Amino acid sequence: MSDSDFELLRRWRDGDAEASNRLVARHYDSVRRFFEIRLTHAAEDLTQRTFLACIESLSKQQLHTSFRSYLFGVARNQMLMHLRSASRFDGLRRFADTVERPSRKTSLTGVFARCEQQDLLLRAMVELPAELQMIVQLYYWEGMATAEIGEVVQAPASTVTTRLARARELIKRSLAQMRLSPKLHASIVRDVPGWTRSLVDAQGRRPSA
């Protein structure tokens, strides 16, 4: 039987290098993906900070029913701290406006999208508020249950369900504002969950540099 994630984390805290390598290998891609869509240029640094912060916050693990909810709760805190820091640096801008929105030239398409529908869906996702985008990613990309996500965002499962519905509505609204052809628009809107899930599959198939 493989060691549990929490056991590996405890061993890492105690200086076991093999345990740290195994734990990071299991979850690195998911954590980096969590940051990459919103904070592309800081994703690598924030991913490393998250794993280190997991060790520092290990005493709080009993508040979580799964390692993933613990891990992404730490990742969420790292993201919000980064956004708040950027907001203070910018002075007048609210932290929600510090998102690194991709231009057409620096699009995330090469990372996540493999077809036009995926590219358009990704553009709509980038426009979501940070908390809604987190919930969408954890639900559709990481396959987490609403109760698990609730532990991450510190909200009841019912609230997570409501926010998911709100996120889907905002995605559809963004798509409607893109002036797409009726056929293309319909092909995305009739299966927003399916196209959202497909983005992580495309990301997994991206060519190596």
Residues 39 and 57 in one domain: yes
User: Do 153 and 135 form a contact (C-beta atoms < 8 A)?
Assistant: yes
Q: What angle do CA 173, 164, 134 make, to 5 degrees?
A: 100
Residues 108 and 203 in one domain: yes
Spatial CA neighbour of 127 closest among 161, 176, 74? 176
Position 102 scores a pLDDT of 45
- pTM score of the predicted model: 0.82
Q: Are residues 95 and 162 in the same domain?
A: no
Compute the distance between CA of residue 142 and CA of residue 37 in angstroms, rounded to an integer. Answer: 14
Q: What is the pLDDT of residue 88?
A: 53
Rg of the chain over all Cα atoms, to the nearest angstrom: 18
User: Could you give the 3-state DSSP secondary structure of residue 16?
Assistant: coil
Q: Which of the pair, 172 or 112, is modelled with greater confidence? A: 172
* Domain encompassing residue 4: 1-100
Going by pLDDT thresholds of 50, 70 and 90, the confidence category of residue 104 is very low
Q: Does residue 64 sit in the same domain as residue 117?
A: no
Last residue of a domain, one of 82, 100, 118: 100
For residues 146 and 139, is the Cβ–Cβ distance under 8 A?
yes
pLDDT at 154: 94
85 pLDDT tier (thresholds 50, 70, 90): confident
CATH at 147: 1.10.10.10
- CATH code for the domain in which residue 9 is found: 1.10.1740.10
In this prediction, residue 82 has a pLDDT band, given cuts at 50, 70 and 90, of very high
**How much is the pLDDT for 108?**
52
DSSP-derived secondary structure letter, 144: -
| Shared-domain flag, residues 177 and 194 | yes
- Identify whether residues 7 and 69 lie together within a single domain: yes
Is there a single domain that holds both residue 93 and residue 111? no
Spatial separation of the C-alpha atoms in residues 130 and 39, rounded to whole Å: 11
**Nearest-angstrom CA–CA distance, 17 and 89:** 36
- The total of structural domains in the chain comes to 2
- State the average pLDDT for the chain: 85
Tokens 């559809």 belong to: 172
